[in-house]
Amino acid sequence: MPNQPRLLKTFLDLIEIDSPSGKEEKVSKFIEQKFKELKIKFKRDQVGNLIAKIPGKGEPLLLSSHMDTVDPCFGIKAEIKGDIIKSKGETILGADDKAGISEILEALTVLKEKKLNHRPLEIIFTREEETGIIGASKLNKKDIKAKEGLVLDGENIGEITIASPFIYQINIKIKGRSAHAGMEPEKGISAIKVASDAISELEVGRIDNETTNNIGILQSGKIRNGVPEDALIKAEARSHDLKKAKEQVNLYQKAFEKAAKKHKAKLDFKAELNCHGYKYDQKDKFIQKIAQGFEDLNIKPSYVKIGGASDVNAFVKLGIKAVDISYGGKNCHTTRESIRISYMMKITEFLIKFLQS
Ligand SMILES: [Zn+2]
């Protein structure tokens, strides 16, 4: 069994350390101190991800959480009422993802304390997850031997994320021609008109149950009485199916090419697969093993497909069957964020058993 006061202390200590994305240094130092106490070997990689390895028997297993938190995250003070921990209301709580870190550290402590046999473990605490999976994307494949992994970055207890989308980022530049809008508009080519002609041909928003697209930024024009020469459009297409995501990119390209041609404007169209999606079969052995682990603790497993991404996407890209599971929190990224102590205990208990199997 995990030690509740110790788990709670680790969590409360961690959330009081300010750690906005890009400034995870102090959190890293805190964890390094714990690793030293547990005599666990660790290193920081070239971008500041913290990597620790613990020898064991069997196939290696990756365990991961991220060290950064979203704003508002300065001066977090916790309020505990019964089983529930919340912030005082001005900030987030930071359970995302410090509950994950605390649960992993407590599980490792119990394994050591009770001298329990376990799989070889590769622990990775990443940087800058919240601002675009930056730390995990820069991991060196040579640092990871594990083919399977658990990432504690999901919310509701028992949740197992089985799908996350492929995401294309699309950047479009339109070059028209400037002209005085009143004296000689016929000499101009309006970049705004080109953009709006293209956009009016596109379906935007939810395309089907696994595909969405969005135009997030449209910038153009400097003065009221001038034909706008330039336009910049930043869009995205995402789908759980790579083919469908690509199809959206093609539709964007065709619409903008057609409009640019019609108005004789120049077009610079760039699309990049920014996030590597994944889809697991619910009956997959590893997924079922996780589900069984939850069931053994009377936690009902649930399988979710998310529309966003996490460090898992970066691990999958490296060829690791990584699965996002819940750390047990609620309302992350808001000042209403909370977590139950009993849920943190359950997840830690789950980990202790899982790491031994
Ligand atoms: Zn998170």
In angstroms, what is the span from residue 316 Cα to ligand 1's centroid?
17
pLDDT given at position 121: 98
**Given 215, 249, 275, which residue is the final one in a domain?**
275
pLDDT given at position 154: 93
Q: Are residues 27 and 150 in the same domain?
A: yes
Range of the domain at 144: 4-164+278-356
pLDDT given at position 140: 96
In angstroms, what is the span from residue 315 Cα to ligand 1's centroid?
15
Q: Are residues 234 and 270 in the same domain?
A: yes
pLDDT given at position 264: 98
Q: Are residues 38 and 150 in the same domain?
A: yes
For a pLDDT cut of 90, what percent of the chain falls above it? 97
Q: Are residues 21 and 37 in the same domain?
A: yes
**Given 275, 300, 322, which residue is the final one in a domain?**
275
Is there a contact between 48 and 134 (Cβ–Cβ < 8 Å)? no
CATH number at residue 236: 3.30.70.360
- The arithmetic mean of pLDDT across residues 232-260, rounded, is 97
pLDDT at 188 over 90: yes
Does the pTM surpass 0.85? The reply is yes
CA 262/CA 193 separation, integer angstroms? 11
Q: Are residues 13 and 130 in the same domain?
A: yes
Q: Are residues 260 and 289 in the same domain?
A: no
Q: Return the structure tokens found at 229.
A: 């020469």
22 burial level (CB within 10 Å; 0-12, 13-18, 19+): middle
Instruction: Please give the mean pLDDT across all residues of the chain.
Output: 96
In angstroms, what is the span from residue 84 Cα to ligand 1's centroid?
19
- The arithmetic mean of pLDDT across residues 239-267, rounded, is 97
pLDDT given at position 83: 97
pLDDT given at position 190: 98
In angstroms, what is the span from residue 346 Cα to ligand 1's centroid?
19
pLDDT classification of 281: cutoffs 50, 70, 90: very high
pLDDT classification of 52: cutoffs 50, 70, 90: very high
Q: Are residues 101 and 10 in the same domain?
A: yes
Alpha helices in the chain, H assignment, sequence order:
4-15, 25-37, 95-113, 134-137, 191-200, 242-263, 285-295, 311-317, 341-356
Q: Are residues 244 and 257 in the same domain?
A: yes
pLDDT at 174 over 90: yes
- The model's pLDDT over 113-165, given as tens digits with 9 standing for 90+, comes to 999 999 999 999 999 999 999 999 999 999 999 999 999 999 999 999 999 99
Q: Are residues 265 and 340 in the same domain?
A: no
Q: Are residues 211 and 138 in the same domain?
A: no
In angstroms, what is the span from residue 326 Cα to ligand 1's centroid?
10
Residues classed as catalytic? 68, 129
CATH number at residue 144: 3.40.630.10
pLDDT given at position 258: 98
pLDDT classification of 357: cutoffs 50, 70, 90: confident
Q: Are residues 160 and 207 in the same domain?
A: no
Count structural domains, the chain.
Answer: 2
Q: Report CA 102 to chain centroid distance, whole Å.
A: 19
pLDDT at 89 over 90: no
**CA distances from residue 194 to 103, 120, 183, 232 in whole angstroms, order as listed:** 53, 58, 21, 11
